[in-house]
Structure 1
Amino acid sequence: MKITLNITRTDRTTNIATRCPHCGHFGTFMTLGIMDISTYINSNTSVDKYLGIRKCPNESCRGHLFFISDSNRTILLTSPSEIIPFDKENIPQKVLNAFEEAIKCHSNSCFIASAIMIRKTLEEICIDRGAVGNNLFKKLADLGSKILIPQELLNGMDELRLLGNDAAHIEAQTFSEIGKEEIEVSLEFTKEILKAVYQYENLLQKLKNLKSKTDNAT
Structure 2
Amino acid sequence: MIFKLTGVNQGSSGTRISTRCPHCGHNGTFESIGNDIQNNNSNRVFGIRRCPNEKCFGHMFFVYDKGQKNIVVTHPSDTIPFDKENIPENVLNAFQEAILSHSNNCFIASAIMIRKTLEEICMDRNATGNNLYKRLEDLGSKIVIPQELIEGMQELRLLGNDAAHIESNTFDEIGKNEVEISIEFTKEILKAVYQYESLLGKLRSLKKTKEEENN
Is the TM value for this pair above 0.5?
Answer: yes
RMSD: 1.4
- Distance in 1 (CA, whole Å) between partners of 2:160 and 2:30 is 36
1:164 and 2:123 matched: no
Alignment partner of 1:105 is 2:106 = no
CA distance in 2, matches of 1:112, 1:191: 18
In 2, are the aligned partners of 1:31 and 1:55 still within 8 Å (CA)?
yes
Q: Does the aligned pair in 1 maintain the 2:46–2:63 contact within 8 Å?
A: yes
Task: Report the CA distance between 1:36 and its aligned residue.
Answer: 1.1
Q: Which of the residues 57, 63, 73 maps onto 1:62?
A: 57
Moved more, 188-197 or 69-78: 69-78
> What's the secondary structure of 1:31's corresponding residue?
strand
What TM-score, normalized by structure 2, do the two folds share?
0.89
Q: Secondary structure at the match of 2:142?
A: coil
- Check the 8 A contact 1:53/1:66 in 2, yes or no: yes
Q: Bigger CA drift: 55-64 or 68-77?
A: 68-77
How do 1:26-175 and structure 2 match up within 5 A? Answer: 26-32=27-33, 34-41=34-41, 47-72=42-67, 73-173=69-169
Render the CA deviation track for 1:14-63: whole Å, top value 9, x for unaligned. 2101111111111111112x22111133xxxxx43111110001100000
Give the counterpart letter for 2:139 in structure 1.
Answer: L
- SS in structure 1 of the partner of residue 32 of structure 2: coil
AA aligned to 1:27 is: G
Q: State whether residues 162 and 174 of structure 1, in contact with CA within 8 Å, keep that contact through their aligned partners in structure 2.
A: no
Q: CA separation in 2, counterparts of 1:27 and 1:156?
A: 35
Structure 2 CA distance for aligned equivalents of residues 94 and 175 of structure 1: 25
Which secondary structure does the structure 2 equivalent of 1:133 belong to?
Answer: coil
- Confirm or deny: 8 A CA contact 2:108 2:172 kept in the other structure: no
Whole-Å Cα distance in 2 between the matches of residues 38 and 176 of structure 1? 35
TM-score w.r.t. structure 1 length? 0.88
For structure 2, which runs of at least 5 residues remain unmatched after alignment?
Answer: 1-12
**Segments of 4+ in structure 1 off by > 2 A?**
170-176
Show structure 1 runs of 5+ residues with no match: 1-11, 42-46
Q: Distance in 1 between matches of 2:170 and 2:103?
A: 24
Shift of 1:173: 4.8
Structure 1 CA distance, aligned partners of 2:209 and 2:102? 43
For the 8 Å contact 1:165–1:172, the answer to whether it is kept is no
Between the aligned residues of both structures, percent identity stands at 66
Deviation for aligned residue 1:88: 0.6
Q: Distance in 2 between matches of 1:115 and 1:71?
A: 33
Q: Which residue of 1 aligns with 2:193?
A: 197
